């Protein structure tokens, strides 16, 4: 269990919660946790992006080496005899790296999707916090207005 929905299952964000103050007090903790998950996910995503670049760089280097050796093999007949075996070996390495590259791309897309979900969860919590704060302010203003009305009616009664 993770994310916002874990908090909902635990009753922290359910409507009709009898502990409104506790709910509001625990909300910043949930937001901090959501922010931490977003930061961690960004770091994971950065690792996959770095691996993606590294694999791409390795393929580029191997292809450049293969091209360089092909040019050398054309110039030297002795190297030409060994080039076929070398080319097969390099093509095998490129195929392995290409497979790893494709797998990393799939993971990268999954991690990007996960980051989007975590952003959404964090935003939901922040919106809920804003709504709770607005509700508290509204309740306080209503209480102040009630107190002022009561005070005004007492003053009016005293004068009359």
Domains and CATH numbers, the chain: 4-159 (1.10.287)
The pTM of the full predicted model, rounded to 2 decimals, is 0.62
Higher pLDDT, 72 or 17: 72
Tokens representing 127 are 């919106």
22 — pLDDT class (breaks 50, 70, 90): very low
Cβ count within 10 A of residue 31: 16
CA distance 39 to 45: 10
pLDDT value at 158 more than 90 = no
Q: What is the pLDDT of residue 15?
A: 47
Contact call for residues 45 and 117 (beta carbons, < 8 A): no
Percent of the chain with pLDDT over 90: 61
Record the tokens describing residue 55, joined without a space: 């694999």
pLDDT top residue among 24 and 98: 98
């Amino acid at each position: 269990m993770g994310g916002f929905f874990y908090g909902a299952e635990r009753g922290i964000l359910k409507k009709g919660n009898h502990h409104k103050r506790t709910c509001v007090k625990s909300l910043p903790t949930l937001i901090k946790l959501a922010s931490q998950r977003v930061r961690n996910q960004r770091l994971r995503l950065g690792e996959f992006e770095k691996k993606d670049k590294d694999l791409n760089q390795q393929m580029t280097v191997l292809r450049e080496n293969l091209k360089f050796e092909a040019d050398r093999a054309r110039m030297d007949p002795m190297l030409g005899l060994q080039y076929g075996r070398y080319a097969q070996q390099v093509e095998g390495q490129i195929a392995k790296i290409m497979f790893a590259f494709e797998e990393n791309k799939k993971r990268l897309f999954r991690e990007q999707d996960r980051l989007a979900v975590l952003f959404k969860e964090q935003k939901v919590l922040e919106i809920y916090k804003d709504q709770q704060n607005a509700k508290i302010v509204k309740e306080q203003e209503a209480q102040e207005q009630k107190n002022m009305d009561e005070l005004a009616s007492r003053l009016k009664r005293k004068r009359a």
